[in-house]
Amino acid sequence: MQDDIVALFEFDRWANARVFDACRKLTAEQYVAEPVAGWSSVRSTIYHIVLATEFNLRSLAGDADDPFPPEADVATVDDADRLLERAYRRFEELRPTFTPERLNTLLTLRAIGRSFTLPRWAILRHIVNHSSYHRGQVASKLKRFGIEQQITDFFFWAIEQVPQEA
């Protein structure tokens, strides 16, 4: 294990898998319900994680304009999981291009009605940071339904990567 983009994405995949496993304990009704009035559903938050991950990786690949299914078509945790796995496969396809020189090149993307220019490495780090933020929201929502998810802290992922003494 070393401190790089690949390790961050391995962590992100590990943490998202734990969250998705916890979400599978929800009923279909709970998955789409507001856990508290005014809070978005677990499904909406999971969809947002998947959409942002896919959008940003598509941007890096030069495919940002490809259509993405609406939330209603991503009705289950398994549907979201399939889309997220597709995004991770895209990451693996892009991975050979992630040289230090390439990661430092600027990319302009359009999101939320604005254009942004930033280095490619920042987009990759943003994906992982963004997912972490929203995984915390999902954890709070799951607690409202009486479901505890496994720990998803980077610290614990790193511990799992290193052989530990008994």
User: Where residue 40 sits, what CATH number does that domain have?
Assistant: 1.20.120.450
Per residue in 81-114, pLDDT tens?
999 999 999 999 999 999 999 999 999 988 888 9
The torsion angle over the Cα atoms of residues 100, 105, 110 and 116, rounded to 10 degrees, is 100
Per residue in 7-59, pLDDT tens?
999 999 999 999 999 999 999 999 999 988 888 999 999 999 999 999 999 99
> Would 164 be classed as within a structural domain?
no
Per residue in 50-88, pLDDT tens?
999 999 999 999 887 778 899 999 999 999 999 999 999
In a 3-state reduction of DSSP, which class is residue 53?
helix
Length of the chain in residues, anyone?
A: 166
> Would 50 be classed as within a structural domain?
yes
Give the total number of structural domains in the chain.
1
Provide the domain limits for residue 60: 5-154
C-alpha–C-alpha distance, residues 107 and 58, integer Å: 12
Q: What is the mean pLDDT of residues 108-128?
A: 93
